[in-house]
Amino acid sequence: MSKGLIGASSVTIFVDFLSSKLEAALHQAVVDQVCIDIANEMRQNCPQLKESKINLEYHLLKDMAEKEDFSRFWDYISIPKYFFQNYIKTCVYNYCRDNKLIKPLSEKRLEELKSIVLTAISKATTTALTSLTNNKNPEESKLSKWLDVFCEELEKCLKLPRNTLTHMEDEEISDMDLLQESLTKALATSVENISKKFASAALVDLRNAKQQPEDSLFTLLSGCWEQCPFCAAICTNSIEGHSGDHSVPFHRPKAVYGGWWYKTDHFVIDICTSLVASDCSIVLSDTHRVPCKQYRKAGPKYERWRILPDDSELKYWKWFVCRFQKELEDKYQRKFEDRGKIPYQWKQIKKTEIFDEL
Ligand SMILES: [Zn+2]
Ligand SMILES: [Zn+2]
């Protein structure tokens, strides 16, 4: 067999091997990037996901009031972090539901990556040829140099580690132009294969992504999830594990979280901000009470909350208590009676009024 033919078959073996690795890496990079693109697009186009957790929370409060579904309120009050996560997941699902989004996004990314790979092929070939002319280390193969440059060029956008290709670097390839030509052809086929995979791709086809769109959106819209020990309002700080006190601009009637008067089955309808100014006590046990005015001394759940005595309150939660009086009574097995009787004025609040406040 002539030397030329050995060279040509080496190129084929090498190109087959490299392009299969490259195709897998390209596919993964497109999947990862499309997930980022979906999240970014949603941040632009979905008003509820545009800003921060507090903006999303107001949106959710409006949405829940519109739908008047107690089970959603219940999840929001009892498992807020999961509730927000789940809501974002549903948003992503709805946004991608018609399957028209993923194809164009993937095509754009694939095109960009293709051009980056072509540049890398060309740069690697030129460098390998130049190094051949001034080779100070004849032991080092041209192909090894070629692979060094190729992998380095792709490092930022593809996962194609140089050390996974070491066993190929001793292939006897000297015709760099043939290598460039063959690899360019193989790349076109790979791009076609990947493009076909995305032609009717749905969200489920992106499940191997480094990060799902809902996860990156949740990270951006997350924050502190501590809840007020009296009323379960969520701290509005945008940093999870933040220093300093937890706080929230509006507290709620304690009954929302099931609070009741000691030795009765009557709800507490007072709001935390008035409770902390009252002469009431937090009953930790029959023998251990802490005055509400010194609530921070009632244990770890209380000590980091800043609840200032004032009269800020939302009509929203008064409306909620009236609208879901029966559901709350059933859920917590308590009654709105006696000191927990719902004031007449609360029952006059119209739904339109609560929307004005949000
Ligand atoms: Zn509170
Ligand atoms: Zn907090």
Residue 2 has what pLDDT? 47
Residue 237 lies in a domain: no
Do 311 and 198 share a structural domain?
Answer: no
Do 260 and 212 share a structural domain?
Answer: no
Q: Round the average pLDDT of the chain to a whole number and report it.
A: 92
Do 216 and 112 share a structural domain?
Answer: yes
The answer to whether 207 and 230 have CB atoms below 8 angstroms apart is no
| Residue whose pair of structure tokens reads 């097995």 in the numeric block | 333
Residue 98 has what pLDDT? 84
Residue 312 has what pLDDT? 77
What share of the chain in percent tops pLDDT 70? 95
Do 120 and 47 share a structural domain?
Answer: yes
Domain boundary among 181, 207, 222: 222
CA atoms within 13 A on the CB side of 180: 16
The answer to whether 258 and 269 have CB atoms below 8 angstroms apart is no
Do 297 and 194 share a structural domain?
Answer: no
Do 141 and 58 share a structural domain?
Answer: yes
Do 153 and 57 share a structural domain?
Answer: yes
CA 230 to ligand 1 center in whole angstroms = 5
Do 217 and 134 share a structural domain?
Answer: yes
pLDDT band at 133; cut points 50, 70, 90:
low
* CB contact set of 91 (below 8 Å; sequence gap of 6+): 42, 46, 48, 49, 214, 217
Residue 243 lies in a domain: no
Query: Cα 30–49–68 angle (5° rounding)?
Result: 125
Indicate which ligand has the atom closest to the C-alpha of 224. 2
Residue 245 lies in a domain: no
Domain boundary among 167, 199, 222: 222
Question: 260: which strand partners?
Answer: 267
CA 245 to ligand 2 center in whole angstroms = 6
| pLDDT (mean) for 117-137 | 83
Query: Side chain identity at 8, as an amino acid letter?
Result: A
CA 235 to ligand 1 center in whole angstroms = 9
Domain boundary among 200, 222, 244: 222
304-341 tens-digit pLDDT:
999 999 877 889 999 999 999 999 999 999 999 999 99
Residue 18 lies in a domain: yes
Residue 129 has what pLDDT? 85
Distances (CA, A) of 276 to 88, 311, 325: 35, 11, 24
Question: 171: which strand partners?
Answer: none
Domain that holds residue 82: 1-222
Residue 249 lies in a domain: no
Residue 168 has pLDDT above 80, yes or no: no
Residue 277 has what pLDDT? 93
Residue 10 lies in a domain: yes
CA 299 to ligand 1 center in whole angstroms = 15
Residue 31 lies in a domain: yes
Do 289 and 206 share a structural domain?
Answer: no
The tally of domains found in the chain comes to: 2
Do 197 and 292 share a structural domain?
Answer: no
Indicate which ligand has the atom closest to the C-alpha of 233. 1
Do 266 and 138 share a structural domain?
Answer: no
Residue 75 lies in a domain: yes
200-245 tens-digit pLDDT:
899 999 999 999 999 999 999 999 999 999 999 999 999 999 999 9
Cα dihedral: 248, 249, 252, 258 (round 10): 0
10 Å CB burial of residue 34 (0-12, 13-18, 19+) is buried
- Which residues hold their Cβ within 5 A of ligand 2, which is an ion? 224, 226, 235, 237, 246
Do 275 and 208 share a structural domain?
Answer: no
